Amino acid sequence: MKAVIVKPGEKDSVHLEDVPRPTLSSSNALLKIKRVGIDGTDIEINSGSYGECPTGSDYLILGHECLAVVEDIEGSSSIQKGDLVVPTVRRPDDCPNCMNGEPDMCLKGEYKEHGIRGLHGFASEFGVTDPNFLIKIPQDLENIGVLLEPVSVAEKGIYHTFKIQERLKWTPRKALVLGSGPLGLLTTFLLRLKGLEVSTVARGARGSLKSQLVERAGAEYVSTAEKPLNTLGKFDIIMEVTGVSSVAVDAQQLLNANGVMCFLGVYPPNTLSLDVGKAYTDLVLGNRTYFGSVNANKRDFEIGVSDIRQIEKNFPAVLRDMITKTVPLSEYKAAFYPDKGDIKILLDLSAGEKETKVTPLEDSI
Ligand code: BGC
Ligand code: ZN
């Protein structure tokens, strides 16, 4: 079967290759892949800075954002042949958190991740995974179900934000989302579902598709070219999704007393000159919390399924419209070298659907 593979550690190694088709086993369900979303992590793996082959393999099949149909499964479980499913990404080691169903909170760091670390992903006709980590997707969410994985990452950050704040009486009103890529947009939609006043900040000018999607969800789109961060006032929740440390440092100043800032990015090395004394004093005197959040567990995926439906209801078609291209496997390069206005690009693996669907893009993002 054809698969999108990389040689981890090698820059620009992504290519299409014929690889052996995986087989059903007692520990793995066989999936027929329908759609795969490509994100920053895939692009980073292709840049050579991340990624790990499965044991015994000298390549890694990419694709951790996946929607599939169960082609075959052994034994009886709540998942059956023909079910529409999304696999979670991470598989546990034997640490206490992993053993407790929280591989996203792994202590030992020996977890594996489909399409990222030690397990093949799903950018191929078929894939295999432990059926205990499959999330059932209702048929009516077929078109957008592939967004569940990035949704789950935002869900986890938000879930933990509110969980942490059970430490006090807290009625958050204003939220700031830094970044308007797919994860920034999904975070914006989820915070709007909670009734928060949301400002989503990015560099691009207003009027772009991203800014329209933010506004369709009832949030404010702020272009830092027009309004610098330090003019935006204070926020009870800040979600940092840019992965730019200078943005994160500047935004820390905008956190209200008792506020929480959640870091969802990955930050390249950056030695900033910073008044650490002031930063720590602000943290203490305002009872502020800064925390990091990675990956997601089954709970976050499950909350994600019902929130996707709620987003559809409250902000019609925002999820569909953030998918700017859907291309067949043979055109995988479109996803790894995106155009300027692209938001989310999908690989479509459904047989017979070979056409490229391109939604017209706004020029300034
Ligand atoms: C995925 C996470 C994963 C992280 C780090 C992200 O793109 O969505 O599930 O844990 O990369 O590998
Ligand atoms: Zn663990």
Provide the pLDDT for residue 351. Answer: 61
Assess whether 120 and 162 both reside in one domain: no
Provide the pLDDT for residue 357. Answer: 46
Question: Residues 7-30: pLDDT tens digits?
Answer: 999 999 999 999 999 999 999 999
- Ligand 1 centre distance from Cα of residue 286 (Å): 31
DSSP-H helix ranges across the chain: 40-46, 96-99, 148-164, 182-193, 209-216, 245-252, 276-285, 298-314, 318-321, 333-336
Ligand 1 atom showing the smallest separation from residue 116 Cα: 12
- Ligand 2 centre distance from Cα of residue 8 (Å): 23
- Residue type for position 64: H
By DSSP bridging, strand 2-6 and strand 60-61 are antiparallel
**10: in domain:** yes
**CB burial of residue 296 (10 Å; 0-12, 13-18, 19+):** buried
Assess whether 163 and 288 both reside in one domain: yes
DSSP string over 89-104: SEE--SSHHHHTT-GG
Domain end position, chosen among 271, 292, 313: 292
Ligand 1 atom showing the smallest separation from residue 296 Cα: 9
Residue of 227, 160, 158, 225 lying closest to 186 (CA atoms): 158
Domain end position, chosen among 292, 318, 340: 292
Q: Which residues pair with 326 in a beta bridge?
A: 346, 357
- Ligand 1 centre distance from Cα of residue 40 (Å): 9
Phi first, then psi, for residue 290 (nearest 5°) are: -115, 130
Provide the pLDDT for residue 355. Answer: 44
Whose Cα sits closest to atom 2 in ligand 1?
A: 295
Q: Which residues pair with 255 in a beta bridge?
A: 235
Provide the pLDDT for residue 352. Answer: 47
**340: in domain:** no
Average pLDDT of the chain?
95
**Are 327 and 348 spatial neighbours (Cβ–Cβ below 8 Å)?**
yes
**311: in domain:** no
| Ligand 1 site residues, Cβ closer than 6 angstroms | 39, 41, 64, 89-90, 113, 116, 149, 153, 294-295
Helix axes 298-314, 182-193, angle to 10 degrees: 80
Give the residue, out of 44, 46, 64, 135, with the most ligand 1 atoms within 8 A of its beta carbon, to mutate for a pocket test. 64
Assess whether 46 and 165 both reside in one domain: no
**59: in domain:** yes
Q: If you count them, how many residues does the chain have?
A: 365
Q: Which ligand is the nearest neighbour of the Cα of 301? A: 1
Provide the pLDDT for residue 272. Answer: 84
Domain end position, chosen among 249, 277, 292: 292
Whose Cα sits closest to atom 9 in ligand 1?
A: 295
Q: How many Cβ atoms sit within 10 Å of the Cβ of residue 199? A: 22
Name the token pair of 345. Answer: 């690009």
Total domains, the chain: 2
Assess whether 107 and 168 both reside in one domain: no
Residue of 356, 326, 10 lying closest to 143 (CA atoms): 326
Q: Is 165 helix (H, G, I), strand (E, B) or coil?
A: helix
Output the domain CATH number for residue 62.
Answer: 3.90.180.10
Ligand 1 atom showing the smallest separation from residue 104 Cα: 10
Assess whether 14 and 131 both reside in one domain: yes
- Ligand 2 centre distance from Cα of residue 166 (Å): 25
Name the token pair of 72. Answer: 């075959």
Assess whether 199 and 284 both reside in one domain: yes
Measured CA distances, 150 to 92, 117, 209, 332, 365 (Å): 19, 17, 19, 19, 20
Whose Cα sits closest to atom 3 in ligand 1?
A: 295
Name the token pair of 326. Answer: 């859907």
Provide the pLDDT for residue 75. Answer: 81
- Ligand 1 centre distance from Cα of residue 41 (Å): 7
Query: In the chain, which residues have pLDDT < 50?
Result: 352-365
Residues spanned by the domain of 234: 152-292
CA dihedral 139, 309, 294, 185 (to 10 degrees): 120
CA dihedral 228, 232, 233, 237 (to 10 degrees): -110
Name the token pair of 231. Answer: 């003019």
Phi first, then psi, for residue 146 (nearest 5°) are: -65, -15
Name the token pair of 213. Answer: 């999607």
Question: Residues 103-127: pLDDT tens digits?
Answer: 999 999 999 999 999 999 999 999 9
**324: in domain:** no
Return all residues near 317 (Cβ < 8 A) that are at least 6 apart: none
Residue of 284, 290, 297 lying closest to 264 (CA atoms): 290
- Ligand 2 centre distance from Cα of residue 101 (Å): 9
CA distance 280 to 191: 27
| CA quadruple 117, 122, 125, 130: dihedral sign | positive
